[in-house]
Amino acid sequence: MTVTHETSQPINDSVLDEPDLQESRRQQGPLAGFRVIDAATVYAGPLAATMLGDFGAEVIKVEHPTGDSARTHGWRKQGKGLWWKTLGRNKRTVTAKLSDPQGRELFLELVRTADVLIENFRPGVFEKWDLSPATLHEINPGLIILRVTGFGQEGPYAQRRAFGTLIEAMSGLAHMTGDPDGPPTLPPFGLADGVSALAGAYAVTMALLHKERGGTGQVIDLSLLEPLLLILGPSPSVYDQLGQVPGRHGNRSPNNAPRNTYLTRDGRWVAVSTSSLSVAERVLTLVGHPEVTTEPWFKSAGERVEHADELDGYVADWIAARDEAEVISEFNRVGAALASVYTVHDLMTDPHVIERDIITTVEDEDFGPLKMQNVMFRMSATPGGIDFTGRDLGADNEEVYVKELGHSLDRIRGLKDAGVL
């Protein structure tokens, strides 16, 4: 689904007089001085660009004149997508129809000035528009090109349409998620896209380091499948060496026990993990069954899994007899691992989240103060940050095309009227 022109911002002469919105990001972040062209759509590619922009890269989002469909995904207020406000943060936004010769010309002018290009079209589409890596490297040899697709640039499935949902199914994630007697379960959010975005930002940073050390530009072929598969554990090795196919365990773990979610007396859910032996001993002692910690099988995480029903029963009964506050207090007292199952309301009112500014407030052009996730990590010398939220479609067309690339205002307005911008 694409957005309509109602989300676009009319061309305004005052745009040319706006202050440089990216100046503080370029000056402070570890990626200051690098320009990233985000020509991707929806999540994986654009989120990788967001992560780079959070730490100083100057990101220019290039969209089709109808806009990235991510602008209308999910919850909206006053017709504007709230996820876009986060996904589009720290990005200037321009439009260009890349399949049109004039749109392609403007795009190539931007590419000449860039360090990184991110795109996620199906293999062959950029080539069809005469925007192949060879063409791009001819005009900018140092360009790093991140190509994000479902299955990669080559292979039998390269031309298949692929969204994160399909990758979450094919990777084995859905097969391993859910109750043992229930159906395969998909995550309720773009997990495959998010993992690939992290991998993409990581790959781009390595490529920039290589370039800074005297290397050249290069192409990064990133599929959604491979990063997700890497974090799903040792299933390929287990199948290769043991011939076993790991199945679904609900909230339990095949690696240790007890590990589950448990209901408190006052109707709150809490999660318990015992990944280390010492924590497992503390939990079972706390819930009144220290005797099991002396059993020979208790010392082995794998053997504890074989007794998961017994261990779960002890923990569940103890927690069910107490309110959440007491459960948390007692687990903390003995140094055991437990957390409440939070809603977003719980998260945003938690004192730890508040003190660390994990959910921060950014001034938004449409809604004023707006809450969103802060940058992912804290760097002592070169901290990241958020200068502004996702902007309107084509909000920076004049700033970029007229002020920076030197085109006339009349030409840019004419191209907009013609549907090229």
Dist CA 283 CA 318 (whole Å): 10
Considering the domain boundaries, does residue 32 fall inside one?
A: yes
Active-site residues: which are they?
Answer: 193
Instruction: Give me the tens of pLDDT residue by residue for the chain, a chain 421 residues long.
Output: 323 323 333 333 333 334 454 456 547 899 999 999 999 999 999 999 999 999 999 999 999 999 999 999 999 999 999 999 999 999 999 999 999 999 999 999 999 999 999 999 999 999 999 999 999 999 999 999 999 999 999 999 999 999 999 999 999 999 999 999 999 999 999 999 999 999 999 999 999 999 999 999 999 999 999 999 999 999 999 999 999 999 999 999 999 999 999 999 999 999 999 999 999 999 999 999 999 999 999 999 999 999 999 999 999 999 999 999 999 999 999 999 999 999 999 999 999 999 999 999 999 999 999 999 999 999 999 999 999 999 999 999 999 999 999 999 999 999 999 999 9
Dist CA 118 CA 419 (whole Å): 23
Dist CA 287 CA 314 (whole Å): 7
| Residue 48, CA atoms < 13 Å, CB-side half-sphere | 33
For residues 52 and 197, state if they share a domain.
Answer: yes
Q: Which domain holds residue 341?
A: 260-348
Supply the pTM of this predicted model: 0.91
For residues 271 and 161, state if they share a domain.
Answer: no
Considering the domain boundaries, does residue 287 fall inside one?
A: yes
Give residue for tokens 């005052």.
Answer: 14
CATH code for the domain in which residue 181 is found: 3.40.50.10540
For residues 220 and 297, state if they share a domain.
Answer: no
For residue 23, what pLDDT is reported? 53
Considering the domain boundaries, does residue 373 fall inside one?
A: no
Last residue within a domain, chosen from 321, 348, 375: 348
Q: Measured between alpha carbons, how far apart are the two ends of the chain, in Å? A: 19
What lies within 8 Å, CB to CB, of 76 at 6+ separation is 82
Q: To 5 degrees, how large is the angle CA 98–CA 100–CA 102?
A: 95
User: How many domains does the structure of the chain reveal?
Assistant: 2
Closest by CA position to 60, among listed 408, 398, 405, 396: 396
For residues 337 and 227, state if they share a domain.
Answer: no
* 8 Å CB contact between 148 and 45: yes
Considering the domain boundaries, does residue 304 fall inside one?
A: yes
Residue 315 has φ and ψ, to the nearest 5°, of -70, -45
CATH code for the domain in which residue 334 is found: 3.30.1540.10
For residues 319 and 179, state if they share a domain.
Answer: no
pLDDT tens digits for range 19-70: 454 456 547 899 999 999 999 999 999 999 999 999 999 999 999 999 999 9
Last residue within a domain, chosen from 303, 324, 348: 348
Residue 371 has φ and ψ, to the nearest 5°, of -85, 140
Q: What are the C-alpha distances in Å from 85 to residues 19, 47, 68, 76, 209?
A: 20, 12, 13, 10, 30
Considering the domain boundaries, does residue 294 fall inside one?
A: yes
Considering the domain boundaries, does residue 375 fall inside one?
A: no
Considering the domain boundaries, does residue 251 fall inside one?
A: no
Closest by CA position to 388, among listed 377, 396, 379: 396
For residues 133 and 21, state if they share a domain.
Answer: yes
For residue 24, what pLDDT is reported? 62
Considering the domain boundaries, does residue 321 fall inside one?
A: yes
